[in-house]
Amino acid sequence: MFIVMLGVPGAGKGTQAQRLEERLGLRQVSTGDIFRENLRNQTPLGQLAKSYMDKGELVPDDVTIQMVEERLSRPDCARGAILDGFPRTLAQAAALDQMLSGKGQKVALVPLISVTDDEVMARLTGRRVCRRCQSVFHLLFNRPPPDGECPQGDKSQCDIYQRGDDQPETVRNRLFVYYKQTSPLIGYYFAHGLLAEINGAQEIDRVTSDLWDVLSRIQA
Ligand code: AMP
């Protein structure tokens, strides 16, 4: 089962995708995380992505599509995946459909997590991420573990940081880019009967439970 998480940056796609990963036993594939990992390892892909990410712009489609195609071809995605941050353009959505149809599969559901722009600004400036396990926290709503223990349970300590692109100016540009390039996907997936809008301005657990309800309906 392939699930595409849709919503503005900071809507909570990553947090909810992590929860679905645990519950469904499907891999979360986050293009933003893959780019950041390449950046840390100073690969050519990371260096190319950095110039776009720093400005809040999208990495070019051809590079992103090739990267996702390679990722989805690995055995841990054979049963499906939870796509978080991909597709972000109509060209990427069409490429995803093509990739999956090549394997006799297709997108099963597109949850759209809705929150207002003001909410996103507040969330992203308080967002903190663990470099090690990629868990997402918030200084007010979902504080990093006080003892530093990593929620993945492998006894390591979290390494918390603030993403450079969570600075207010860059967040504003990321929102602009979302409305210009990614929001047309709402119409695309609606037309395919796959869209399920979820109120993302609720407690994290409520959002998860709404998501779970929608999933149970398609699994039934
Ligand atoms: P995210 O962590 O999903 O907010 O992504 C961080 C940044 O990575 C974005 O602002 C883009 O620069 C880049 N990125 C992530 N996913 C994509 C994508 N599907 N297409 C192009 N660029 C992407």
Structural domains in the chain, CATH included, are 2-117+182-219 (3.40.50.300)
Distance between CA 173 and CA 168 in Å, rounded? 9
**Predicted pLDDT at 138:** 87
Cβ(194) – ligand 1 distance below 6 Å: no
Cβ(123) – ligand 1 distance below 6 Å: no
Count of C-beta atoms within a 10 Å radius of residue 70: 10
| Smallest CA separation from ligand 1 atom 8, residue | 32
Whether 131 is catalytic? no
**Predicted pLDDT at 168:** 87
Whether 174 is catalytic? yes
pTM: 0.88
Cβ(53) – ligand 1 distance below 6 Å: yes
Count of C-beta atoms within a 10 Å radius of residue 139: 13
What 3-state class would DSSP assign to 154?
Answer: coil
Q: How far, in Å, is the centroid of ligand 1 from the Cα of 147?
A: 31
Residue 83 near residue 3, CB atoms below 8 Å: yes
**Predicted pLDDT at 163:** 87
* Token reading at 7: 């919503």
Segment holding 161, helix H or strand E: strand 160-161
The tens-digit pLDDT sequence of the chain (220 residues) is: 999 999 999 899 999 999 999 899 999 999 999 999 999 999 999 999 999 999 899 999 999 999 999 999 999 999 999 999 999 999 999 999 999 999 999 999 999 999 999 999 988 989 999 988 888 888 887 888 887 787 776 667 888 999 888 988 899 999 999 999 999 999 999 999 999 999 999 999 999 999 999 999 887 6
Distance between CA 68 and CA 30 in Å, rounded? 9
Segment holding 176, helix H or strand E: helix 168-177
**Predicted pLDDT at 134:** 82
